[in-house]
C-alpha cells in the first residue's frame, strides 16, 4: 500500500420515521481516516450506514459525498447502491454460496477499473490465502467476515462502511484486522460501528456518539473517551498461584491498554480463594 491521504466531505441531513422510530440525522464531516460511530443498541447506527450506502429509501433528506449528491429527496435524486462506490460490511455478511472465495472476490473486482488491492494481497492481509479455492459455504463465520472485508475493499470503494465487522472473530484475528484497517484508512476513509469501546478507540478518530436517532456528539477520540461507557471485558481465570498471589486471566475481549503477559498487580489474599485448596 502506498501512502496517500484521502479526505472527502460527507454531508448528511435526513429526518423522518422508520416504523415508529424517529430520526434526525445531521452530519457534516471531513472523512479522513476512520470515523467511529458509537451508541447503544437500537439508536440507529445501522440505519445511518444503510442510508449512506443507498439501502434505505425510507429516510427523506439529503446526502452529499465528495460534492456528489447521492440523495436529495426534494429534487427526486436517489443514486442507487451500485453507483455510489461505497463499500459495506455487515456483521453477518453473505458471500455468493455457489462460488469459491476467489470467485467471490473476482466478481467484486469487476466493479472497478482502478483496483487498489490484488486478490492475493487482500487474502494475505486478511489471512485467508489457504481458503481461496474453498467453496464459500464451507467457511466459518469468522473466515467469512475476513473474506467479506476483502470483498468490499477489492472493489476500490471511495468510502468503506463497517457495521460490527469484527464481531465473529477471535481476539488475535481482531487485533490483526484492526491493524490492517488502520493502514487501509490512510487510503480509504472508513466509518466504523462497533459495540467495543476498546476497538473504537484504537481505530477511530474522531468518534461520534448516537442517541435515539440523532448524532448527539462528535469529537476527537481522546476528548470523547470519558463519555463512552466504562471499559468492560470478559475474561477467564486460567491459572492461580496462591503462594505468590498471581492470577492469570485470559481476556476474551482485547484490551489495548494491556501488553501480552503484562503484570498489572498481585492479589495478596483474594477473598474468593479463601477456603479453597
Ligand X SMILES: Nc1ncnc2c1ncn2[C@@H]1O[C@H](COP(=O)(O)OP(=O)(O)OP(=O)(O)O)[C@@H](O)[C@H]1O
* CB nearer ligand X, residue 185 or residue 196: 196
The Cα–Cα gap between 80 and 55 comes to 8
Q: Residue 13 burial by CB count (10 A; 0-12/13-18/19+): exposed, middle or buried?
A: middle
Phi (first) and psi of residue 134, to 5 degrees: -80, 145
Q: What distance in Å separates the CA atoms of residue 73 and residue 10, rounded to the nearest whole number?
A: 17
- Contacts to ligand X by CB under 6 A: 18-19, 21, 39, 41-47, 58
Cβ proximity to ligand X: between 18 and 267 the closer is 18
> For 177, how many CA atoms within 13 A lie in the half-sphere containing its CB?
30
Which of the 8 DSSP states describes residue 104? Answer: H
Query: Rounded to the nearest whole angstrom, what is the least distance from the CB of residue 218 to ligand X in the complex?
Result: 16
Cell numbers describing residue 238 = 486460567
Give me the residue whose beta carbon is nearest to ligand X. Answer: 19
Q: How far is the CB of 213 from ligand X (least distance, A)?
A: 7
Residue closer to ligand X, measured from CB, 49 or 247:
49
Residue 256 Cβ vs ligand X, minimum distance, rounded to whole Å: 22
Residue closer to ligand X (CB basis): 42 or 137: 42
**Cβ distance to ligand X smaller for residue 42 or 235:** 42
Work out how close the CB of 219 gets to ligand X at its nearest, in angstroms, rounded to a whole number: 19
Which 3 state secondary structure label does DSSP give 29? strand
Nearer Cβ to ligand X, position 37 or 131? 37
CA angle, residues 52, 41, 183, in degrees to nearest 5: 55
The residue among 6, 25, 5, 10 whose CA lies nearest residue 66 is 10
171-184 and 141-154 are packed helices; what angle lies between their axes, rounded to 10 degrees? 10
Smallest gap, in angstroms, from Cβ of residue 202 to ligand X? 19
- Smallest gap from Cβ 190 to ligand X, in A, equals 17
Amino acid at each position: 500500500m502506498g501512502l496517500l491521504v484521502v479526505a472527502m466531505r460527507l454531508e448528511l441531513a435526513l429526518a423522518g420515521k422508520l416504523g415508529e422510530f424517529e430520526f434526525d440525522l445531521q452530519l457534516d464531516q471531513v472523512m479522513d481516516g476512520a470515523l467511529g460511530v458509537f451508541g447503544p443498541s437500537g439508536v440507529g447506527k445501522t440505519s445511518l450506514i444503510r442510508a449512506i450506502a443507498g439501502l434505505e429509501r425510507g429516510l427523506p433528506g439529503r446526502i452529499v459525498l465528495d460534492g456528489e449528491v447521492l440523495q436529495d429527496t426534494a429534487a427526486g435524486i436517489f443514486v442507487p447502491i451500485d453507483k455510489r462506490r461505497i463499500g459495506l460490511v455487515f456483521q453477518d455478511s453473505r458471500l455468493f454460496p455457489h462460488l469459491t472465495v476467489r470467485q467471490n472476490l473476482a466478481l467484486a473486482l469487476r466493479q472497478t477499473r482502478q483496483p487498489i488491492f490484488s486478490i492475493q494481497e487482500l487474502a494475505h492481509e486478511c489471512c485467508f490465502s489457504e481458503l481461496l479455492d474453498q467453496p464459500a459455504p464451507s467457511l466459518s463465520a469468522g473466515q467469512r467476515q475476513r473474506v467479506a472485508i476483502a470483498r468490499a475493499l477489492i472493489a476500490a470503494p471511495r468510502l468503506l462502511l463497517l457495521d460490527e465487522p469484527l464481531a465473529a472473530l477471535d481476539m488475535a484475528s481482531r487485533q490483526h484486522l484492526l491493524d490492517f484497517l488502520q493502514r487501509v484508512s490512510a487510503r480509504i476513509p472508513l466509518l466504523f460501528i462497533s459495540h467495543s469501546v476498546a476497538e473504537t478507540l484504537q481505530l477511530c478518530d474522531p468518534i461520534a456518539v448516537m442517541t435515539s436517532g440523532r448524532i448527539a456528539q462528535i469529537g476527537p477520540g481522546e476528548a470523547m473517551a470519558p463519555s463512552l461507557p466504562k471499559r468492560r471485558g470478559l475474561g477467564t481465570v486460567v491459572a492461580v498461584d496462591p503462594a505468590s498471589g498471581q492470577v492469570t486471566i485470559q481476556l476474551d475481549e482485547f484490551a489495548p491498554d494491556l501488553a501480552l503477559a503484562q503484570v498489572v498487580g498481585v492479589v495478596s489474599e483474594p477473598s474468593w480463594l479463601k477456603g479453597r485448596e
